[in-house]
Chains A and B, each alone.
Chain A
Amino acid sequence: MSFSRRGFLTTGLAVTAAARTGLGKAMAEPHHNLPDWHVGYRNAPVNGFDPAPMQLVFGKAPSGLSGSLYRNGPAQLHHGKTPASHWFDGDGLVHRIAIDDGKAVHSGRFVQTHKRKEELKAGAFLAPGFGTVGDPSFAVMSPDDVNAANTSVMMVNGELLALWEAGSAFSMDAETLETKGPKVWRADLASMPFLAHPKVEPDGRIWNLGMAGEHMAIYKIAATGTVEDVAIANTGKEYYIHDWAMTERQLVILVQPWINTSPVPPFIDHFVWQPEDGLKILIIDKDDLSSRRWVQAPPRAFYHTGSAWQEADGTLRIDAALYREPILGAGGGTAEITGDWRQEDGFSADFTQIVIPPEGDAYLIETGLDGEFPQVNPDFQGLPRKLTALASGTVPGRPGASALSVHNWERGETDTFEFGYDRMVEEFLFVPKPGGLREEDSWLIGPVLNLKAKAREVCVFDAAHVSDGPICIWRADYTWPLGFHGTWA
């Protein structure tokens, strides 16, 4: 029964947690005057996390769930008493939660970038960045000199990659999380930007974009990691492109009217919102990258899409977490990092379907669902589908999501599990069940930050019955900072 699971979450776990004293609590205590949620915005230990078993504190691990949840996010948010100038500029730390035979083991390592090494040596933020001026003496010979490698992860033919967006992916050992160095897809592509939101076809072929000013690189990469094609496009202005979408046959690139007007860091200070341009959509034929058309949509800002699909009559549909205007602009996230966040600093997304008819302008179907980090079943990437999972919900008194939702476009319904104030909810990923053929034949796996227990938890849901509550929860008796995106491999 869903009711009993809810009851356990609001009582049983809290009692269990209160009885524990662990590393997590010890890490959290020096900050006496900060709000409880600030534990999500503190530095991870300098050497990361050695492998440590997590404890199954609720439910039974589903049989057949075997693999690793990898996640990335900024985990150096302070040097001494100096906070990062922007949430997006903290050094990336890659986590691995390896799950096998009902057991979960957590480990984590910072990506050893040039920026990380130099700043750790100096004990200060030095590199210019998205929202950081940087030290004028910090040399920048290549985008990878300022690469924070902090946004997402992907697995390509057994190679783990930590992804940023303005420079190279970083290659890492998938088991030890040891950093190998910047990924060079092909000698002539060294130091090319590679967005943190590649799209992977169900057969393993990878598509991605790389942005530099108004120039856009389009990557087509085989499942083996071999580059099949790279094309260059021009968007006309320096639009901010963080994520995009793909159907079976097209690349669907949402070009929001948020435009960088100067190459001088901090870059975010020079972004201008020009809603009169509307949201433009560039559609590129995957079989002929020179075949391109533009479509106009109402002005919206966004960071993340779910995915796109094409219907028999040629209509394209894309779902995304849209905003009326840009969020996390200048100073983005600093109020959270310093603990000074107030309710009025919050912002709301509107989970929306963008419909592009075969001819004419695009229009929006808005759900009113305030959700972020949209995710779809990877077996249905780019294909007709109905389900999107989101971190959703807001609670008074703290930033971040409080719920997990699955929206069903076919039924126009949203199935939600509300965790409440005590758990900050991050991105949940679809993990198809072995032998499952339908979208809903999946688990959803993702981390939450338990504020009451000052502990980290990884939860598993049945994607078909999210409101029933989690199937199982593993807990680490310590915390780590909130992150961005992950992958299951």
Chain B
Amino acid sequence: MASIISKLTSVAAMALAMPVMSAAALTVTVEGIQTAEGTIILGLFNEETYEGEGAVNGANVVVEGDTISARFEGLVPGEYAVRLYHDVNDDGEMNTNPFGMPTEPYAFSNNAKGRFGPASWEDAKFTVSSDDDVHTITMK
């Protein structure tokens, strides 16, 4: 169960300049990873960016066990949601079957689940308010 503290690597469109005043920090822990290989591609979103591609912040974390963690600092206190997928084969894409259904594991914050689509912002959002917030996501 040893957590692997991530080294944050670049995620496209993640780096929005944020005011540093009263900055908060968040550690996202992902448990129950089925395959100890590949990379967890994790995006942190606010309400404005959740439906699209532009994450507020993000992390690519190499998987070496069944758990990973990623820490985000300098966040504006407020509501966030996480979307992530496990790039098991490290091809940089969320693989799908010929009908576009995901074939690699994916998850949302609050362990929210969709109904014929992604989990909604309302179901996935959570509040980050201090400099030591922790949010845990369990892969199905």
Contact = CB atoms under 8 A, between A and B. Distances in A.
Contact of B95 (A188, A212, A217, A263): A188
Contacts of A290: none
Contacts of B103: 187-191
Contacts of B106: 141
Interface stretch (B42-50, B57-65, B111-119): B111-119
A212 B97 CA distance: 12
A97 B62 CA distance: 50
Contacts of B114: 139-141
A142 interface: yes
Interface in A227-248: 230, 232
A434 interface: no
Main secondary structure of the interface of B (DSSP, over half): loop
A263 B97 CA distance: 19
Contacts, number: 45
Given A190-B103, A191-B103, A139 B113 contact: yes
Interface residues of A, number: 22
B99 A192 contact: yes
Interface size class of B (residues with CB under 8 A): 10 to 19
A232 B101 CA distance: 14
Nearest to A189: B97
Interface in A166-214: 187-193, 210, 212
Given A187-B103, A188-B103, A191-B103, A141 B97 contact: no
Interface in B66-80: none
B98 interface: yes
Interface in B81-111: 95, 97-99, 101-103, 106
A191 B97 contact: yes
B99 A193 contact: yes
18 contacts: A128-B115, A139-B113, A139-B115, A140-B114, A140-B116, A141-B114, A141-B140, A142-B101, A143-B101, A187-B103, A188-B97, A190-B103, A192-B97, A192-B101, A217-B98, A217-B99, A232-B98, A263-B116
Per CB-CB distance, the 5 closest pairs between chain A and chain B, nearest first, are A139-B113, A190-B103, A212-B99, A140-B115, A191-B101
